Structure 1
Amino acid sequence: MGNAASAQDVWKVYGTGEAQVVALRGINVAFEWQKLTAIMGPSGSGKSTLMHCLAGLDTVNRGEVRIGDTVLTQLNDAGLTKVRRDRVGFIFQQFNLLPTLTAKENILLPLAIAGRKPDQRWFDKIIDTVDLGDRLSHRPSQLSGGQQQRVACARALVSRPQVIFGDEPTGNLDSQSGAEILRFLRTSVRTFGQTIIMVTHDPNAASYADRVVFLVDGQIVEEVTDPTADLVLDTMRSLDTRLGRPDEPGPPPEPR
């Protein structure tokens, strides 16, 4: 069955000359189907860059990125757009809801853009799971932050994507609302067989994952399975000593 998403020898470089920043250095990582994986690391470690490359939101300088069996790094812009529309879901820290649309319209927007009709039973099941039944006619400004993020979660799920990417999905929420979202993500993996990859800086959020991958300086340096918040915290502390740039940065990436 392969993996849900993978990166093989992936390099990502921004800028040139003195201003050059190597964001990802020869990353090799695979993400299993029907698992919740967290990506962690210090600020500037490359975790959001890795997620954006995996999701086809950003290109790589060298290496191969796959969603399922599809090699994203071989697709043109139209092909990437199709993958992002049909096979990938996104949950962002800022919710990214359209203020003029109701909760229901926001949830159904990806299907409307793709010209697809919603599966009513699936829609009802998602709404029941995120507990938004009495909020569907409300606009974002009439919802709490936690409710807005639940709308965003429902929107990510409604098209039945192969993989959902979450960029700090609880970053703007209080601890109670954040815990609700994390429980929902956990449920969507266990009950719906969803595959989720999320970037987080929060050890408690990471403890909901099946596996946590740690980045330092654009390289994967550690991973843990079945994490607890304490284990994640201890691992992060041990990585603090590894923040120096590698002496040997490896081969410079070739432009694609």
Structure 2
Amino acid sequence: MQTTTTGPPGAEARQDATVAARAVDVWKVYGSGEAQVAALRGVSVDLGRGRFTAIMGPSGSGKSTLMHCLAGLDTVTRGEVHIGDVLVTGLGDAKLTRLRRDQVGFIFQQFNLLPSLTAQENILLPLSIAGRKPDRDWFAQVIEIVGLGDRLSHRPSQLSGGQQQRVACARALVARPNVIFADEPTGNLDSRSGAEVLGFLRRSVRDYGQTIVMVTHDPNAASYADRVVFLADGEVRAELHAPTADAVLDTMGRLDTGPVGAGRTVGA
């Protein structure tokens, strides 16, 4: 799916500066012998900086595996993963921990908030662990984005599911990471709360240049993205730009019935 461009010296470097994360011929194989399973089969994909990318595919397509490999949560069997200008593949544990702490944000389906901490303390926890002081102006902007100004002293048990996920979104945003990976962020929410969370993610990209990579099974959630990358059987099969929910459904239907065409752009 990567494209090769030609141009004056330095063009490639300028192109790389627009890429927040990249997979190059990534394979992920589990087991050995007859029990061997290839979850990813030579996946190459560039994820644009300041863009909202959704990753979709049928169950078992490798979408969550790809996200985990891109985020440095899992190792690859073969190939390379980059975050910004850092080659993630082969990093030692200490450097990988620092990379995830300083350059990557995470939003999970289960919120992962500490019940004994207030919303504000949960939001600031990654910075506290890293020994970094928050930028107060940016913190105020993040709280405004997620609409939690009157809930900062509340503990998770005092918040609705949608509010808890907004705390998780704020926690990911406040450190200004290179890229935020969101794994089914609306999976535990009702439609209204889910729409609110997706709206916050969309706004963080549009107004503040954040990079979001989201795994989802929901065509409506994917329609908030700038681009959807579709996987099937561990391979990139298609991508869709400026997606609508109907276009995502149509593409998913074709993935379920047969190949759409490796790396083919099916909309713009």
TM range (shorter): over 0.9
Q: Deviations over 1:6-30 (max 9, x none)?
A: 0001000111223221100000100
Measured after TM superposition, the shift of residue 69 of structure 1 is 1.0
What is the SS of the residue equivalent to 2:66? helix
Q: Is the 8 A contact 1:6 1:31 kept in 2?
A: yes
Q: TM-score, normalised by structure 2?
A: 0.89
CA distance, structure 2, for counterparts of residue 158 and residue 15 of structure 1 = 39
Which of 144, 167, 182 is the equivalent residue of 2:198? 182
Structure 2 CA distance, aligned partners of 1:21 and 1:74? 22
Counterpart code for 1:221: R
**Structure 1 unaligned regions, length at least 5:** 244-256
- Which residue of structure 2 lines up, in the alignment, with residue 6 of structure 1? 22
Among 79, 102, 106, the residue aligned to 1:86: 102
Q: Distance in 2 between matches of 1:219 and 1:129?
A: 35
- Which consecutive aligned stretches of 4+ in structure 1 deviate over 3 angstroms post-superposition? none
Matched, 1:137 2:153: yes
Say which SS state the counterpart of residue 80 (structure 2) adopts.
Answer: strand
Write the letter of the residue equivalent to 2:72.
G
Sequence identity percentage? 75
Tell me whether 1:199 sits opposite 2:215 in the alignment. yes
* Corresponding position: 1:115 with 2:131: yes
Deviation string for 1:52-75 (max 9, x for gaps)? 000000000100000011100031
Q: Give the 3-state SS of the residue equivalent to 2:134 in structure 1.
A: coil
> What does 1:7-46 correspond to in 2, within 5 Å?
7-46=23-62
Where does residue 228 of structure 2 map in the other structure? Answer: 212
1: distance between equivalents of 2:161 and 2:71? 25
Q: CA RMSD in A?
A: 0.8
Structure 2 distance, partners of 1:19, 1:133, is 52
Taking structure 1 as the reference length, the TM-score comes to: 0.94
Deviation at 1:203, TM superposition (A): 0.2
**Matched residue SS, 1:73:** coil
Cα deviation for residue 200 of structure 1 reads: 0.2
1:248 maps to what in 2? none
Aligned to 1:250: none
Per-residue deviation, 1:222: 0.5
2:75 aligned residue (22, 44, 59): 59
- Give the deviation of 1:76 after TM superposition: 1.0
